[in-house]
Structure 1
Amino acid sequence: MSKEEKNQIELLPIMELGLEQLRFSCKEEYLDFETTATVAPLEGMIGQERAVKAMEFGLHTKKPGYNIFVSGMVGTGKLTYAKQVVHKLAKGQPVPRDWCYVNNFEDSSQPIAISLPAGTGEAFRQDMKELLDNLRNDLPEALSSEDFERKRAAIRKAFQEQQIAKQEALAEKAKALSITIRWSNTGYMLVPLLNGEPVSEEEFDKLDEEQKEIIKANLQAVQELTIAEVRQAQLEEREAKDKIRALVKKVALFVVGNLIEELQEKYRDNPEVIKYLEALKQDVVKNVKDFKRTSSSEEQGQMVMFGKTTREKVEERHAINLLVNNRNCEGAPVIVETNPNYYNLCGRVEYSSRMGVVSTDFTMIKAGAFHLANGGYLIVNAKDVLMNPGVWEAMKRTLKTKKLSIESLGEQYGLIAMASLKPQAIPVDVKVIMLGSPYLYHLMYQYDEDFRKLFKIHADFDVQMDNTSDNIGKLAAFISATVKKEKLREFTRAAVARVIEYTSRLSGSQTKFTARFNQIVDIIYEADSWAAMEGAAIIDADHVRQAIAEKRYRANIYEERIQEMFKEGIYLIDTDGAKVGQVNGLAVMGAGEYAFGKPSRITANTYLGREGVINIERETRMSGASHSKGVLILSSYLGHKYAQNTPLSVTASLTFEQLYDGVDGDSASSAELYAILSSLAELPLRQDLAVTGSVNQKGEIQPIGGVNEKIEGFFEVCKIKGLTGRQGVIIPSRNVKDLQLNEEVVAAVGEGKFHIYAITSVDEGIELLTGVAAGEAGRDDVYPAQSVHGRVIAKLRAYHEAYSDDQDDKDRQDASS
């Protein structure tokens, strides 16, 4: 190229980044304190204004369906905030009513639910226990009193005297017929008389037939009179027993009525309790025999026969199952259910086994989280709800009907059928706060129409927040709050600044801070531990740096192994010189929570053909969808750039050398394009530069992810190979704001040992890599011959002419044959 021609082709201006662009530095003057000891602890959330407003609106809206789904990545503080804000709101709300189950005396399989004012459930249970104790004492005493015994004895005496008189009258009638009646406990016997003396069977046989017939007739007559008298006696005996029972009932009603009357007055404002007391009174009177005193031997006999004593049965029958006791609540309840399986959420009926018999009763009904949260708030994890069988459907049914029934999960799924209780459903008014990932929220919203109706509030917690002076102050307050809560050492101003810079690195942007507070807390804890090991009384910036470095060291074993392979020459890479069709690309690898950059050699070969760009990774099924798309975009760029007038007659093969585990993402598409252009233009590419960035069909360089890890990964390899002062990385200009490089890389840039360039187009990148101008098309759409594009077009035309000549030769051969 002549000197005149070279002057006509000017290189584009390339932006090399300065130190101030490589990372966000939290200036200590932003922080107006010496240590966190003087910083007021943070109250509320940082950087989640949208989610906070959604939560506040959802919590204050009492309409049906305004339950809240709180989404966000792990560590964004959504659970901590949800508990904090809900507890604060709940304290100012009224305490909900207590709930208990009582026996249904008409059908014990369907217990009755009774609600009472908050805190009175325990008093009601105690009142009923005292009532039962009083009944055990007063009823037997009343039924064994002198007055009762006298009245009962009078009834029996009147009956007995009446029977004696009737028996005597009957005996007289029988005697007139020469018959005597002999009574016994088992009945009676008629004996004929002869001359006033009983007739034996032998004597009866000796009598003549006429006498026998007279005796038989008399016996028949007396038999009829006796039978009638016995029937009348039985009827009168039943009447006597009815009188005694009426007497017992009267006494029992008097005793029970006096005892219950006081309770009826106490609970006169609760119709459900009044109704239950009336039913209990009738049941006690009906089963008054259960209240009689029994000896210890009788109780042991009952246990052998029935498994329970009469006393135990009476206690269970008249007990109060206090299901929900809000006596100690301050405001509305807030229940965080960490294991929301079906029974923990909806309650259960338990069973007991005694003497080989499985049984249950209303006293074995246990409350679930919905019962305990009734009138308040229930916080659950969405993933746990969906993973437990039957829970999601039960939750939806409860929220839609506002009633909670305790049922057996086995019966619902047809797994088991056995006699059980059907407790009366309890009305519920619960606001559910469900926590989960954004993916889970959108999945449920898409595939369950009930979810949209029941969870109308979506509080989405972001993983980032803006880098503002206000948020810097709040992060300092957050560190102060953590220090005070966990009783850690205080942080100096410089230490706080380093933590804030670390949050910027975690966010992947200079303009953002991470909102995943668990990662911030980890560094706070670890810095305190390193300060403790050093014996320091306060945490300084060096302790924070050490915590970050040690955290990285614990996780970077795979990175070190890869760097050793670069050092030993197992992984082939050049960090100096220039080569045709070869460029250093950058990728990010992950090992658990740790990510690091790994440079890779990308090569391209071009030759005559019509196959276009061949992606070797795709052909071997090692290419992901995004990477394959990026390679297809290269074909579109080449066609748009160089095939406006002449068709492409080229085949270009691309590959990542020494890649064995697949590749995805389009961040290497610009590097792949440079390799193709280098091969076509026969211009060597600098090996001391690594490239990252995706390219679109128009040749614009687009931003990528993991820019910090990629730069630091190539820098480490350059250190291993030896820093020359020319090495560096080419990144998209739109990624400049994402830079938060470590201090070592920044120092190397400051010393001129490493360089970082930001570009916006393919032309800028190819010029940096080749040192040759990309070239601009003139008015006739012709590029300068010595420019990169001019060289590429010349090679493509040569390929096309060779391909056309070859095709003509084949056509002539076919015609001649």
Structure 2
Amino acid sequence: MPQPDQPAALPPEALRAPVSESEFDFDTTRSVEPLGAWLGQDRSIGVMRMAAAMEQGDFNAFVMGNPGSGRHRITRAILADAASGRPSPRDWVYVNNFDAPHKPIAIALPPGDAERFRKAMEELIDDLAADIPALFESDDYQTRRRAIEEAFASTHEEAMSAVFEEARARKVAIIRTPMGFTFAGMHGDEVMTKEQYEALSDAEREALDAAMEEIQEKLSEVLRALPKQQKAHRQEVEELNSGLARQGVDAAIAGVREAFAGQERVVEHLDRVRDHLIENAGLFMQRPAGEEAGPSFPVATSPHVTKEQFQPYTVNVMVSNGKQETGAPVVVEDLPTLDNLIGRVEYVSQMGALVTNFTMIKPGALHRANGGYLVLDALRVLSEPMAWDALKRCLRTGEIPIYSAGERMGLLSTVSLKPEPVPLKVRVILIGERQHYYLLSALDPDFPQLFKLEADFDDHLPLADENRTGYARLIAGLARRVDARPLEAGAVAALMRESLRATGDAERLSLNTGFLTDFIQEADFWAAQRKAAHISAADIDTVTAERERRAGRLRELSHEAITRGTMLIDTDGARVGQINALSVLQIGGYMFGRPSRLTARVRPGAGKVVDIERETELGGPIHSKGMLILQGYLAATYATTAPMSLWASLVFEQSYGGVDGDSASAAELITLLSALAEAPIDQSFAITGSVNQFGDIQPIGGVNEKIEGFFDICAARGLTGSQGVLIPASNVKNLCLRQRVVDAVEAGQFRIIPMTTIADGLAVLTGLEPGERGPDDAFPEGSLNARVEARLTAFADIRRRFAREARNGSAEQR
């Protein structure tokens, strides 16, 4: 019968991206002006600028895209530009709460005033440490203090003297002992002995005993009055000290009060500080360790005394924006733990116990970004315990409470601080991948309410004429940013071809700046090895070859197994029910293609096509779907007037791992039809493509790697000119093949043939006319489809005959 019409092989120019150095009007990128904006990201940039400018609190943004797309760099640049036009936010400090020390007070200050307030308080304490001791050392104070002491001593001494005088007059001796006072009679100037006492008459003894009782009572009265006198003495001293301290504190604090006169909360705090200082003026009088105090009020020998005693009066600066004249902060937190987000309270060990105070409160990223912008990596926030929950709570409540994970979980028994929450106004930008955004949207009801803007970074840029110049400028800018050598026009064209290949689409350039930057830096290394001043196209090709060599060990082992005959793959001859199917393996970031032998066997049956991969649980769900589509095509196309009476088995030979995807469904269908029609398949070809129930060939992924994988096997065995690959016609736009394949096609040693329908593949692989049903509802005689239908009809006849004979045999037995 006549040869069938076969689709034409692709010309060499259709196999590579149409990019050449002649398109550029520069010799090297040294003369190219870098882009002033970001290429191809207009949509995302508009969202980012909206998020940066909006005042409403819930319009935080989620920036999504693939790693390497420049999301972080572009986000920081846009936020920095927006922040420069905004006013500097307020400073925040924590001060001691004298009424409840475990609840420190947060105070807001104008930008730059936090450090000024801290220094003012330090200077106040330093001044008081010098002034108050000087006041207490003054002659006036010493005179007044001595007068008080002398008055107290005089009063006490006079009372005691009166008792002693009366006792002497009444011949009673008052004796001081370690146990207190005791009383005895006097005989002359000596204490009366026991014998002398017993020698007295009864009347004399009674008179002496009465006198001792009266003297004892009067002494007791004097001693009972002593505590009251001492208390009065202490009050008088305290009033003197307080008055003097008030004089010194008021004089010193007046300057601080004047400096912060317009800030109400600072003035209120200064009032509390004043009262506390006056009540505790003795703090300034403590002597250094080992030095004894004098008999009167202790006076320090140095104004620089132990700092711990002055901690209640210090200022803990949480956020200070004094270093920047204008602009809001842009904070990037790379480790968003709970403590790093909301701050923490630190502890020190003293005498085996953990202690803390308000000076040990440390700020978090939310404190530093307050009034500006906070940039976080979404996956890192979600990975840190309790960090995501804390971030949402802060955004929802509009304030920053400071607590620890131990407090939240009830694991901390140490007494801790409860700092006053700081009001929060911040724009949070989360950066993550698309799956993170969609999972949060689906699983966290708070997320859509708090992050109402999404900036989706594009991965590709159309290869249009107006974009080529812009892309060259992008490459020039990236080369300058990493301080690489200028690229020649040929290198720019070569890098653009690699960019197209990275997208798997000859009409789409990659916007993965990380990929481009890495490529430029590696090419710069090889240019340096040549001691060249510029990066050439050869350097780009060297990078490609070296990358494949570095990651190609498994690829080499796989291809070696085929070329040595360990894995059975034919590249010539013809066989019934056997075809070369193409697959892609990915190891890390490296992909390579590999052919696999696919075989089919058929016999009469009950209409079952056995997928051995699925039966052994090696086939994935998409592969199983492809098999079911194949069965649907088979049942609807052939022998429609008879029951499907086929049993068939399909398998990837020597495949011991999982199989998924439907890119082999066209190969599976052709193999099955070959087995039914008993038509040999040309083993010089390999095929890839997906098929639908109507027999149309659909596009697949990894087409470049698949073609190159089979080409390399054929090249290793020797190119014959009859070898080639069949691919879906819709994948032609994805072709960005390596030069070795293009050269072989141009030399007529290899062919790449596009398929539109399954009939195109059958015509090339079997050399038979597939045939279409005519007006008589039959396929042309001798066509491949006619042979398939005849075989299936014969299977149906066998099945009917077998069923009839089985019924007759059963009747005879009865």
Does TM, scored on the shorter chain, surpass 0.5? Answer: yes
| Counterpart selection for 1:284 from 260, 269, 277 | 277
1:627 aligns with 2:620: no
Mapped to 2, the partners of 1:754 and 1:434 lie a distance apart of 50
Partner SS for 1:601: strand
For 1:283-302, list aligned pairs within 5 A.
283-298=276-291
Instruction: For residues 596-631 of structure 1, give each alpha carbon's deviation from its aligned partner in whole angstroms, at most 9, with x where no partner exists.
Output: 111112111111111421111112221111111111
1:567 aligns with 2:560: no
For 1:596-615, list aligned pairs within 5 A.
596-615=592-611
- How far off is 1:172 after superposition? 5.9
Mapped to 1, the partners of 2:376 and 2:598 lie a distance apart of 49
| Counterpart selection for 1:379 from 365, 375, 383 | 375
Please tell me the residue identity of whatever aligns with 1:204.
Answer: Y
- The answer to whether the 8 Å contact 1:615/1:654 transfers is yes
- How far off is 1:266 after superposition? 0.5
How many residues were matched structurally? 802
For 1:753-772, list aligned pairs within 5 A.
753-772=749-768
Mapped to 1, the partners of 2:505 and 2:340 lie a distance apart of 44
| Counterpart selection for 1:512 from 502, 508, 530 | 508
For 1:190-589, list aligned pairs within 5 A.
190-192=183-185, 199-298=192-291, 311-329=306-324, 331-354=327-350, 356-589=352-585
Partner SS for 2:306: helix
- How far off is 1:260 after superposition? 0.2
Partner SS for 1:25: coil
| Counterpart selection for 2:743 from 727, 743, 747 | 747
Q: Which residue of 1 aligns with 2:106?
A: 113
Instruction: For residues 105-141 of structure 1, give each alpha carbon's deviation from its aligned partner in whole angstroms, at most 9, with x where no partner exists.
Output: 2232222222222122222211111111111111111
Instruction: For residues 707-756 of structure 1, give each alpha carbon's deviation from its aligned partner in whole angstroms, at most 9, with x where no partner exists.
Output: 11111111111212222222211111111111111112122222222221
For 1:149-188, list aligned pairs within 5 A.
149-170=142-163, 179=172, 188=181
My pick for the range that moved more, 190-199 or 778-787, is 190-199
Partner SS for 1:786: coil
Instruction: For residues 253-274 of structure 1, give each alpha carbon's deviation from its aligned partner in whole angstroms, at most 9, with x where no partner exists.
Output: 0000100011001111122211
Instruction: For residues 133-160 of structure 1, give each alpha carbon's deviation from its aligned partner in whole angstroms, at most 9, with x where no partner exists.
Output: 1111111110121001111112222333
1:696 aligns with 2:700: no
- The answer to whether the 8 Å contact 1:15/1:759 transfers is no
Please tell me the residue identity of whatever aligns with 1:268.
Answer: A
TM (norm. structure 1) is: 0.94
- How far off is 1:378 after superposition? 1.4
1:130 aligns with 2:126: no
Aligned CA-pair RMSD = 2.3
My pick for the range that moved more, 515-524 or 704-713, is 515-524
1:143 aligns with 2:136: yes
Q: Which residue of 1 aligns with 2:74?
A: 81
- How far off is 1:695 after superposition? 0.6
Mapped to 2, the partners of 1:192 and 1:576 lie a distance apart of 143
| Counterpart selection for 2:718 from 717, 722, 746 | 722
1:591 aligns with 2:584: no
- How far off is 1:203 after superposition? 2.6
Q: Which residue of 2 aligns with 1:68?
A: 61
For 1:630-779, list aligned pairs within 5 A.
630-779=626-775
Partner SS for 1:254: helix
Mapped to 1, the partners of 2:292 and 2:784 lie a distance apart of 107
- How far off is 1:162 after superposition? 3.2
Please tell me the residue identity of whatever aligns with 2:633.
Answer: Y
Mapped to 1, the partners of 2:695 and 2:316 lie a distance apart of 76
My pick for the range that moved more, 255-264 or 186-195, is 186-195
1:802 aligns with 2:768: no
- How far off is 1:408 after superposition? 2.1
Mapped to 2, the partners of 1:480 and 1:652 lie a distance apart of 58
- The answer to whether the 8 Å contact 2:7/2:754 transfers is yes
Distance 1:184 1:430, change over 3 A: farther
Mapped to 2, the partners of 1:299 and 1:290 lie a distance apart of 16
- The answer to whether the 8 Å contact 2:354/2:414 transfers is no
- How far off is 1:540 after superposition? 1.4
- The answer to whether the 8 Å contact 1:290/1:311 transfers is no
Partner SS for 2:116: helix
Mapped to 1, the partners of 2:164 and 2:619 lie a distance apart of 119
Please tell me the residue identity of whatever aligns with 2:266.
Answer: V
TM (norm. structure 2) is: 0.94
My pick for the range that moved more, 106-115 or 528-537, is 106-115
- The answer to whether the 8 Å contact 1:48/1:465 transfers is no
Mapped to 2, the partners of 1:526 and 1:172 lie a distance apart of 110
Mapped to 2, the partners of 1:234 and 1:418 lie a distance apart of 41
- How far off is 1:47 after superposition? 1.6
Instruction: For residues 341-371 of structure 1, give each alpha carbon's deviation from its aligned partner in whole angstroms, at most 9, with x where no partner exists.
Output: 1212222222223454432222222222122
Mapped to 2, the partners of 1:600 and 1:168 lie a distance apart of 123
- Where in structure 1 are there 5+ consecutive unaligned residues? 301-308
Distance 1:575 1:233, change over 3 A: closer
Please tell me the residue identity of whatever aligns with 1:321.
Answer: N
Distance 1:210 1:466, change over 3 A: same
- The answer to whether the 8 Å contact 2:639/2:793 transfers is no
Partner SS for 1:435: strand
Mapped to 1, the partners of 2:195 and 2:84 lie a distance apart of 102
Please tell me the residue identity of whatever aligns with 2:145.
Answer: R
- The answer to whether the 8 Å contact 1:30/1:469 transfers is no
